[in-house]
A and B are shown apart, each in its own frame.
Chain A
Amino acid sequence: MFVRLVYESFRRQKRRKLLAGVAITLGVAVATAMIAVATDIGDKINRELRSYGANLLVTPQEDSLDVEIGGVNLKPPSDGAYLSEADLPKIRGTFWHHNIVGFSPMLPANAKLADGKDVTVLGTYFSKLLRFGKDDFQTGVRITHPWWKVQGEWPVDASEQVLIGERLAAKLNKKPGDGLEIAGRALTVSGIVSTGSAEDDEVVAPIAVAQQILGKPDAVRRVYVSALTKPEDALARRDPKTMNQEMFDRWYCSPYVQSIAFQLQEAISHSHAEQIRQVAQNEGTVLSRIKGLMLLITLAALFASALAVSAAMATAIFERRREVGLMKALGAGNAAVAAVFFAEATLLALFGGVIGFAGGAFLARLIGRSIFAAQISIQPVLFPVILALAVLVTFAGSAAAIRRAVRFDPVFALRGDA
């Protein structure tokens, strides 16, 4: 009889069930999509923040002071120490190598043009294929310096092709495809680079070219590393030397910018790694702000969809006082009546939950693809959580209405004096 009651109620009152079901489905869909987006947005924005460029700088430990004004290096090239280029692939072997988006070595060299004018040749990787163990990866300025704009072609790393800064190009009247003689070497200009800083007056070349001009094979002046980091907290700021073993392990295994710097120092011999505070400090705040914003909006969305579902359920039950009256007149107890309604609510919540979850997953994917051009992953654990949430909210929404419906005198209900 119980099953039949519930079944017939669904069969005969399709419209009412549909309306309540639609409300639940929509509520669940929005909740699913928002939770998925909110849990993933940190990672997505973190990657977008990498467009600010490298957040870590590795320099030789025993280096003399930089003599640099406005990005132009005034230090004699013979001065100071160098890092070894052969050490660089080891960056890929550090604990947090998955978080390292890319790195670019830099080696400035002073040289003379064919007409005797001085020019700075900046050696770097453009998009070089490196290998660490069995792991092949590409890295260079195209990843770490995304604001560099090239008109023409990017040079190939193992070649005699170079980029020429836009102001220097205007001075020398060069365009892509022209030849350029530097320090007695015939190079080809493959493109004109615009960066908005010192490189606009320089020649950017594959690192081997700069090393040969300097006469220092394997030398690298500094390495820019772009890494995905976790916003700084109290633990991150502590000095690792003052930590006990357990705390140190926790610090070492968190992707703080400080611990990644520590690991870079371990990987590259005689090096000093430092966070570039302008980038590293600010991305923490921006990231936590955006994450916090999405979290709060998700909370508000969850609350709103819970209320909307509750309101829909309350109205749906309110409409059925006469049914309650009839059931009670036929001798049904309060518990039996409530059980019928709760069973119906559960069924609705489950149906709505499953369809809503699928819809929400689809929405989240759509948002991920259209905004971030990346997949927003939905944790499978979300499914039971969402279903439980849907049932809970539907119950909560129905409870007050069911209680009032059950308490109502059947005589009045049947006479229609609602």
Chain B
Amino acid sequence: MSSRPSQLAPEITQVAAKRAQAPHQSMFLRMLLRAAVLRRGRAASALLAMVVAAAVATAMMNLYVDVQAKLRSEFRNYGANIVIAGKDGASLPANALATVESALGEKSVAVPFAYVVARTADGQSVVVAGTDFSRVQKLNRWWSVSQWPSGTGQALVGARAATAISHSNKPFSISFQGKTIQVTPAGTLSTGAAEDSRVYLDMADFVAWTGIQPSTIEVAASGKAEEVDAALKRLGEAIPEAEVRPVRQIVEGEARVLNKTRATLLAAAVLIVLTAALCVLATLIGWVFDRRRDFAIMKALGASEKLVNGFFAAEAAALGVAGALIGYLIGIGVAAWIGRVNFHAPVVPRLSVLPWVIAGSVLVALISAVVPIGLLRRVQPAMILRGE
């Protein structure tokens, strides 16, 4: 092909060049396809290794991104991470709750609380709180409640308060600044903390009885640490007359556990992906090396260095892309399964992972093609064909 007779007429040279080019193109494709079809077994085992690596990489990347969001929502079960309180115990403005809700996203929960110290019929002091029960249920999932109140005049009584003031769930009366109301306990509340000594009323009942507006709003802001910080800032600007502070215990605990988990996950992901890639490398190098006879025949038939390299590179790239695509699908399945089993919510497949998986797979495949070819280039084709 390289030594074309120079004495021929220029038009013949052109035709020859055309002919040489036309089958040349299809020959290239044909060699690729035939290699895949005829050497099914080997191609399949190389592809299998590729698929496994790509699947593992996809699953780990998907999990790494999604698990943090999943864990963060678990951490929200710890309750409020922001507290908004009137300065020096003062009540918040009447529209505070609406302002807070508009300053926060939809996923966040805000619950108003108002407190007074009331007296029971026998003169004991007891803290009575007003709140919104449907919101509290969402915010404080750890509250162990026998029965949530459903109507007016019904109260949720803390476990210790129940034994002290309301024997056998009978209605009892409490008074504040001379005003007395009759309260029916709907259920008892157990938390192991200060809530156990309190009586909770619905906010409407509470305001009608005491005339006192909420003094505290507890907020569970969802999202990353930066998003919570931003929410903190927005809230401070929205209600300048109140004090807005993070619940350090919750915020710092979450940051710590999340960071450690993320680091472990990352270490595991890097380790697994690296191993998978190296195993593919080992398999593919063996595979390409074993095809030194193809290599030698191509060279013996006069293929240029460029063509041979191009052929092996194209083969490797095709293998990489095919492996990546199949692996991506399997990896998504694995990630979704892990999400379902562990978090009871599937991990959302991320398309943004796909280019990375394809790029990585092709890169690994190319490296494993280039290394043996570099070694083979120094060897005479005749030596290989003779089997030495």
Contact = CB atoms under 8 A, between A and B. Distances in A.
Q: Do A and B bind each other?
A: yes
28 contacts: A20-B282, A23-B283, A29-B275, A34-B272, A45-B261, A52-B78, A57-B193, A67-B197, A145-B249, A197-B249, A277-B191, A282-B142, A296-B337, A296-B342, A297-B265, A297-B338, A300-B59, A304-B52, A304-B53, A304-B56, A308-B53, A312-B283, A315-B45, A318-B290, A371-B260, A371-B263, A371-B267, A416-B293
A204 to B, nearest CB: 15
Contacts of B253: 49, 51-53, 147
A367 B268 CA distance: 9
Q: Which of A33, A37, A147 has the most CB of B within 10 A?
A: A147
B192 A276 contact: yes
A332 to B, nearest CB: 21
A216 interface: no
Contacts of B53: 304, 308
A56 B193 CA distance: 9
Given A57-B192, A318-B42, A371-B260, A293 B67 contact: yes
A418 B160 CA distance: 83
Q: Which of A23, A145, A316 has the most CB of B within 10 A?
A: A23
Interface in A54-85: 56-57, 64-71, 74-75
Chain A interface extent, by class? 35 or more
Contacts of B279: 23, 26-27, 305, 308-309, 311-312
B370 interface: no
A41 B264 contact: yes
Q: Is the interface of B mostly helix, strand, loop or mixed?
A: helix
B88 to A, nearest CB: 10
Contacts of B290: 315, 318-319
B181 interface: no
Contacts, number: 239
Interface string B234-258: 0000000000011111101100110
Interface string B279-310: 11011011101100100000000000000000
Contact of B248 (A15, A49, A196, A311): A196
A37 B269 CA distance: 13
Contacts of B334: 300
B272 A23 contact: no
Interface string A371-408: 11000000000000000000000000000000010000
B342 A292 contact: yes
B283 A286 contact: no
B225 interface: no
B115 A70 contact: yes
Interface string A219-235: 00000000000000000
Q: Which of A20, A34, A194, A301 has the most CB of B within 10 A?
A: A301
A27 B52 CA distance: 13
A350 to B, nearest CB: 18
A75 B117 CA distance: 10
Interface string B323-353: 0000000000010011001110000000000
A278 interface: yes
Contact of B192 (A19, A275, A314): A275
A185 interface: no
